[in-house]
A and B are shown apart, each in its own frame.
Chain A
Amino acid sequence: MDDSKNVEMQVGTTIEVQAPFMTDAVHAAEYVEYLRLKDHFTADPKAHRSMILRLDARILPFLFMYYLLNSIDRSNAGNVKIYTFMEDTNMTNTQFNLALTWFIIMYAMFEAPSK
């Protein structure tokens, strides 16, 4: 992952930057901008840390709950089978498994284009 030399000239600029990985000419300007912003934000460790903590408090709990609900929903079908689900809907085991297979098919089909 490291370069043969630690320093490289960014194409289009006269800056020598410490590059942890190879960059090509197309992304040079973006990378320089990214480094500038990164230095700007990580300059003050305490402010950076407080910003990170605020971000954590705003973003992570919600996404955590979303994913939790997602997983519970998926395992819910198995839970429902314990109760009188099969008799009430007159389904056989094969049909139940087929329904879950359809779920997986749709999940995979729509997750792949989502990058």
Chain B
Amino acid sequence: MNDSMMLRRIGPRIWLSSLVICWGCVTLGGAWVKSYHDFVICRVLLGLFEAGMYQGCFYTISCWYLPNELQSRCAWWYSATLLSGAFGGLLAYAVGPLQDHHGLRQWQWLFIMEGMDYHCQLAIWMGIHC
């Protein structure tokens, strides 16, 4: 299924939001990984859902701006990668005290927090607002 095709048909509001929800659910499910095989399935599905987002976002931005404005907008959008390096570690450190909280280990809490809080909230917000 071509991602650009879906983007043109459904529109970025619904397509990108649903992509985010899907990979949020997969991340959430990653908390209950029991073995190597489960983890591989988790990462495969994650790659599947995350792949369409980059091109979709870039295409969406390029639809709305003139070429001379597009460059700086694209740079601002792409700088999210830099910020992720800063906040990823912080997030992982923040779940440190949660060892065996409600019977779940720290890494499980990390996956749960990633999957549920940020992704689904953001995607719903985007779906309503934009």
Q: Indicate whether A and B interact.
A: yes
On chain A, the residues within 8 Å of B130 by CB distance are 58-59, 62
A-B residue pair count with CB separations less than 8 angstroms: 172
Q: Which of B96-125 contact A (CB under 8 A)?
A: 105-107, 110-111, 114, 118-119, 122
Closest to A64 in B: B80
State in angstroms the CA–CA spacing of A38 and B70 once bound together.
14
Is B77 a contact of A73 with CB atoms below 8 Å?
Answer: no
Is A72 a contact of B87 with CB atoms below 8 Å?
Answer: yes
Q: A65-B122, A89-B36 known; A84 and B107 CB under 8 Å?
A: yes
Tally A residues with Cβ within 8 Å of B: 52
CB distance from A77 to the nearest CB of B (A): 7
Q: A89-B35, A103-B47 known; A71 and B88 CB under 8 Å?
A: yes
Q: Does A15 have its Cβ within 8 Å of any Cβ on chain B?
A: no
Q: Which bracket fits the contact residues of B?
A: 35 or more
On chain B, the residues within 8 Å of A79 by CB distance are 88-89, 91-92, 110
A-B contact pairs, 13 of them (CB 8 A): A56-B73, A60-B76, A64-B77, A67-B78, A72-B114, A73-B23, A77-B43, A90-B36, A96-B39, A100-B43, A110-B47, A114-B4, A114-B56
Q: Give me the interface of B with A, judged by CB distance under 8 Å.
A: 2-4, 16, 20, 23, 27, 33-36, 38-40, 43-44, 46-48, 50-57, 59-61, 64-66, 69, 73, 76-81, 83-85, 87-89, 91-92, 105-107, 110-111, 114, 118-119, 122, 126, 129-130
Q: Give me the interface of A with B, judged by CB distance under 8 Å.
A: 38, 42, 52, 55-56, 58-60, 62-77, 79-80, 82-85, 88-91, 95-96, 98-100, 102-111, 113-115
